[in-house]
Structures are given as C-alpha cells and as structure tokens.
Structure 1
Amino acid sequence: MAVSKIWKVTVRLDQVIDYATNPEKTAAKEYSPEQYQALADVLQYAKDEEKTEREFYVGGINCNASTARDQFVTVKEQFDKCDGIQAYHGYLSFKDEPNITPELAQQIGTEFAKRVWGDRFQVVVTTHLNTKHLHCHFVVNSVSFVDGKRMQNNEKHWRYFRHIADELCRQHQLDVIENPKRGTGKNYYARKLHEAGMPNYVDSAKAVIDEAISKSNSYADFKYILRQMGATFDDSPNHKYQVLRVKGYQKNIRLTRLGDDYSLERIKERIYGNRNRVKLEPFQKGYYYRPKQYVLLTREHKIRKVGGLYGLYLHYCYKLGYLPKYQKQNPARLHYLLREDLMKLDQITAQVRLLGREHISTSEQLFSYKSKVEDEIKTLTADRTHLRNEIRKVNTDDDLLSGKKQQISALSERLKELRKEVRLCDGIAERSGVMRENLNAVLADEEKIKNNRKENRDYEYRR
C-alpha cells in the first residue's frame, strides 16, 4: 500500500472540474465564489457516485458527508479564516490482492483519517472502485474546528503518518512496502522532451557515452575521450554514485539513471569488446605514423582549473599559509586581515572538505545541498519519533525493545552528522563574502607594496 502526498486546494482545479458536476452556488458574503466552488468541486469529486457505488462507501469524521461543504465553510467563518488554502485532498491506494474489499478499504481509510486528523479536523472519507486498485480519498478542512489553527507540517506531510498506514495494513493482514523508494523514476520533463523528439540531458548523456565507447579500446581511453568531448566524468571510489555532466548542461546525472546498459560494469564490458574488432584501413602511400603526444598535468594546471566557492577557499587557505602542506607556516609574514582566521582553521578546513567532497562551486549548489540535507533530517526525525512512540507501548518484547533502541541511537548519530553539515553550509554562505573582501584588500595592499618597491628601485637607479 502507498500513501500519496496531500495537495492543497485553493481555486478550481482542472483535474477536479472534469469529474465534478455543477453544484448550486450559495457563497457567503465574505467568501469568494472561486473559493466556495473549489471546496464544492473537490468534495463532489471524492463522493462521485460512479466511483463509490452510489455513495455507499462515503463517510464523514466530525462532519456529515452530505453537508460537509457548508460545515467546512462554517468553521472557516467562525474563526475568520476564509482566505488561502481551503482544504487538503489526498488518497490512500491499496495493492490489488484478494484480501482487500471495498468494505475493508473504507474501514482502513476511516481508521487512518481518525488517527491522523480526527482530533482536530473535519474529514470526508470515500472509497473509489473505478480503477484497478481500490483507493480511499480524503478531503480535510484546512482549519481546525477545535482551535481555529491551520494544518501544520506534521499533519500534511506523508513522512509523518506513513507509519500509521503501514500499521493498519499489518493489523488487517495486508502487504506493506517495507522500504519505499522515492524519486527513482525517470525525470518527467526529460521524458516529455524525449517523446516529443527534442534534445534532453538523458539522451545527450547516452549519446556521449556511446560515442566514447565506440572510440575506446580501454577504460583509460574512454575517460580521456570524454574529457576531449567536454564531458565531466566522476568515477571516484569514495563516492556512492558515478556521475556524468555533458557539455552544455549544468546538471550531473548518475549512470544508474541511464539504464542497465550504462552501468559502470556494462560500460567496461562494451569497451573490452572493442578489442576484438579488426580495423581494415586502405593502404596509403607515404603514410607516416605520428605518435600521440600527452601533456602531463602539473600542480599548477590543477589549481588553475578550480573555481567557484571551492577555489575561493583554497586560495584563502594558501594566503593563510595553510597550503601547500609541504611548506612551513610563517604567521609573522601573514597579512593583518587574515591573522584572526588562524584561530578558525578547524572550521575553515571542515568547510573546504565539504565543498570538495560534494563538488560545490556555486551558491545555488550550496543551497541545493543544504535543502537536500534538511529534507533527510525531517524524514529521519519522523522515523525516530515513530520508534520512540513504539517503545512506550505496554507489553513490548525485550528483544524488540533493544533493537528499536539501537535504531534510535543510529538515527540520532546520523542526525547529529546532518545537522553539522547544515551548520557548515550556513558558515560557508556567511564566510564566503568576508573572504572575498579580505582577499581583495590583501591583493590591493600587495599591489601597492609592489608599486612602491618599483618606484624606489627607479629612484635609486636615477641617483
């Protein structure tokens, strides 16, 4: 069974209007017709007779399903919160199996809605029978009838209540997805471009890999040809995924997203298969073999290619005397603007390692990484809260209790690391501007000293 995300209803939605009838418009004086109609449409869609067997599988929690729209509006007017989001619409989908029936689906949906929203909100629960899989629809008032407060994050995000849905399914001997995977499908935008015959980064990445493989006889040749084509390929064993960035695109793509034929093992197999090919070339008189000339990269070349935030930090560490490692640090020759940061070398070092490890070069990449870490923190926090609630139950087995405590400890350690990453991101965003100002001031002073020395040499020469 899977729980979808809950989406908000503010004005009339096309996908709801297609299935809705035209109910009588009786909007209140301070209630706009669009908001009133949006609430009517989503309720009418959830109670569609063709999908619910003439409303046999329709119920209400803290409200009457037949007059739910007016009761929703009454609560909003009572607390003077008629604007903004009118309701939340969600569904609970069940796997096609013999144990599930419409009556059981409606029962599970009602129990689920009572445990999640029943204490504070009005909910309409229906079961639709018009698709292959039975699924329950929920229409939840956005304003609580208890205290007039709007729905909070933990009441409208699936990560906080998916454990309740799994627990109810287990109680009724239904299958449960133990480790749900999110975001593994092909990119929707890229798929639509592919269907329309337009270029996209997925097809471009496949074409680049295919061309590089066709010209390679070894894995080293493959990587070299990718560089010649302007692509950036990262196959570091220290990273979890191998990623490729094609010239003309600013986004990395994992090889695992391209299909089985583009995994690292499969790419090597295709390259090694080229060794058995026989190349027949026409004889050319006076043919002269020109050996390939390779330019060995030096430290200067590597440093010159580094830019963005990571390059800024490396340059700053160089000015602090922290880099290169083989040179001894001399604080006496350090510029006065940089001496204070010598006491913060541990923080700066941790920030440099984060930028290098995650290949962060711009502020957009930094904030994107921070957002990803914060989402993982929310998910792990919800999992830990659920485990803590489980160990408080009476008559819990000792072995099970010990296992859950170990899981809580592991989650806490992981959360500690993630929160440290967030603090590092905040520190980078705050410190990068100060670094640029200090470096500009240092460079200006060095240029001034250089000009003064040149003037002194000229003066001595004229004497």
Structure 2
Amino acid sequence: MAITKLMNIKQGRRGGSKHLNNSIRYIMNPKKTNDGELIGGNSGFTPQEVYQVMMDTKLDWDKLEGRQGYHFVISFQPGEVNEEMAYQVIKEFCEEYLGDDFDYVFSIHNDQKHMHGHIVFNSVNRMSGYKYRYENGDWEKYIQPITNKICEKYGLPPLEFDAETRKGKSYAQWQADKKGAPTWKKIIRADIDYIISISGNEEEFISNMEKIGYQIRKGDSQKHGAYFSFRAMEQKRGWRSYNLGSGYHYEEILSRIRREKFVYKNPRSPRIRFYKMKRINTHQAVTQFQKKRIRKIYFVSVQYHNIKNPYAVDYREVRKSLLHIDQLWENINYLKQFQINSYAELLDREAKIKEQEKALKNQIYNKDFLQDNEAYIRYKKLKEMLSEVPESDDSFEKILDELEELEQDFPDAILDGSEKVEQMEKKLQSIRDEKRIIRQIKKEEEEDKLFYTAAWGQPTEHTYQNSKKKEVQTQWAKTK
C-alpha cells in the first residue's frame, strides 16, 4: 500500500472552516462507503457531528484560525485487500498514530478499482491544545514504524512512499486540480516549459524568466539539493522547483534546456476530395447583459497581449488574465443556462436560491436538534412498532394513524432517510456554487461600471448602448 496524499486543510479565503467541513462530508459520502458502513473514528457518526466536535475543540482552546485540519489518503493495490481488511488497517493506523489526542474520522472508499482510505483529523490536540505539526523527518521517525508494524501484522508489503508526493498540497489546491481549474502551479509550470524551449543554457533560462516577470533565486537544500525558487510579482511567496513535480527539479530543468528546443512547424492542410456541409442552426440569441461578459473576454484577451513586440508583453497581466478568462466563461455559461438576461433578473435569482438554501438547511439540520425531542422519540418508537406488528393486528391501524399525525410536524429529510438527505446536500452544494458565481458577476458589475446612469441617476439602455459603442471604438483603435 502507499500514502498518495498528505494534505493540509486551510481556512477559506474569507476565513472560516468550510474546507474542513467539505472534506469531512466528502470522505463520509454514503455512496462511496457502502451507505456509511465503512466509516469510523472518535468524533461522531454524521458529518455534522464530526465537524461540530472538531470546532468545539478549537473553541475550547481558542484556536479557530490558521490550518483547520489534515487529510491523509492511503491507497492499496487492486486486489491487495478486501473492505474489511482495509478498514482494520486504517482503523489501527488512526488509533496508533492519533489515539485520543486528536479528533478524527476515517473511511474506506470502494468506488474505484483500487481500495483507498481517507483520514481527516483536527489540527488542534484536544488534550494539550497544541497544533499538529508535520516536520521533515517525522515520516521516518513516527509514521513509517507504525505502518510497517501494521503491514507485517496483516501480511501486506511494507508501505512505499514517494518523496515527490510526501509534501502534499492544500485542500483547495487539490480541489482545483480535481476540477481542472487553472492554478498558479499550472501557470508557473507552463511558463517554465516555454522558457526552457527558447533558452540555450542556465543563464539564458534565468534571464528569460526574469523578463516575463519572475524573481528567480537559486538555493541549496540539504534534502533536495540545488533548486530554483520562482516567484511571480503577484505572489507573496515563491515556488521551489522540487515542489512543482517531476521534470521541474534543478537538474531536470538543466537537462531539458539541453534537449528541448522550440521548433515551429508549418501545418499542412489535409487533402480533401469531397465534403458536403449540412446546414445546422445553432444560433442562440445573446442578450445585452450576456454580451458584456463576452466583450470583456475579448478585451482581456486582446487589449494587453496583442502587441507586435513580444518582449513588450506584460506576462504578469497574462497570468492574471488566464484566471480571469476562466472565471468569465463560467459566468457566461451560468447566465445562458438559467436564461438570466438582466441585472434585475440576476438579483431575483439570487434571492430565490437564498430562500431555497434556507429551506434546505432547515430540513437537513433540524434532525440533529430533534434527538431529544419527545415527539421525535415517539415517532421512531412507532416506526419500530409498525415493522413488528402484522397488518392483521387491531393495533396496526391505530399505530399508523398516530404515525401519520406525527409525520406532519417533521421535515421531509427526516422522514425519507439518508438518501433524501444526500440529494438535498447535493442541491445545497449547487446553490453554494451559484452564489459564488453570482458574487463574481456582481463584483464585475461594480468594478467595471457596466451600468451607466443618465442625469437623473437611473440606468437607461439607450445611454448604456451609446457609451458602450464609444468604449468599443476606443478599445478597437488601441489594438490596431
């Protein structure tokens, strides 16, 4: 078996512990864990309970800020273990390594060809209040002996661990990679790939990287040897080359500089003997409100980068624009999907989904607060009685009538079981995604002043169109 990821769970951009909550819900997904049978830990039985226990520990020690938790993934080779053995291995690892010091939850996911286990544990030690800290050498000193002992006990090969993956990544970075979204790591790697192809030696490589806006520093690590540190102007900290993955270590970069050269090949047009085109009507009307974002993509793409002299391109703006374009496309697709044609309709949609979110939360989370409710306790007891009493019994109808009367007081999520709750959780997540996109669109509206006002202070379509026409003409003239 092998640990494939060691991830730290950071705070969200606006603070809080949403990443911790999301990771707990992810590893406890009933569809991946035999409807919850392959879940264990010392912090509770539901995602809400586990999350609350971890937050209570943070609150007790007044350590709500900073890293929120850690996420380990332990994988097994296909056919190496069954579900029961995998569960026992992860369970014993948690008991030995984390014990009673940290709140944790673990699970076995069997939704892929290879069995793999997830462990999420709190960043705060519930006994001492100190924060968990992983340092270089901890693997060999503390974790490796535990895993070797467990592997030997169950007749498994020793745990192999690739130093490349030991460093791990943040939960947000992992999510971005999973969704295929652009990240700084991907952008830096792409820039390095291009500069390698046009550089003849190390000095040229460093010089060319500096020309496109990077600060380059050479260093020497006792563990990794020589390395480059790359920091774009927009970043607070640099990326060391050995953290960028295979092919980007210091020696590998120098080797690639010697081997890889940029060659432009003129593409050959294919020989076509006969082709009959069919008329397909794919035209869809685009409203003025939606056109604003499409126009914005054009200006983001062209305004800064369509320059005859490639050395005059501001590559810092290029990198920012790549992320911005990805966001704008997401916004456009959202507006088209829900046929939102104006800012007023966007606000109406926002108000509508907020009401839906509130209703869903009430249905999902009310169950946690009903555990001590007398009516709910009576309801569960009647459900058990109904399953034991035959329909021919005189008391069956009486129990059923009382049960139906009580059901009117409880949300659907409680009555329909975990499957209904899971559907609501998915709906809730989609609403959160919608709210994020709506916030982006509203921010664009405010920053770019897309609404133009007439003398009386109210936006008018005629005023907007005239102003936008002048803006387009001005921008077009600049690009020529």
Q: TM-score w.r.t. structure 2 length?
A: 0.34
Which protein is bigger by CA-based radius of gyration?
1
TM-score (norm 1): 0.36
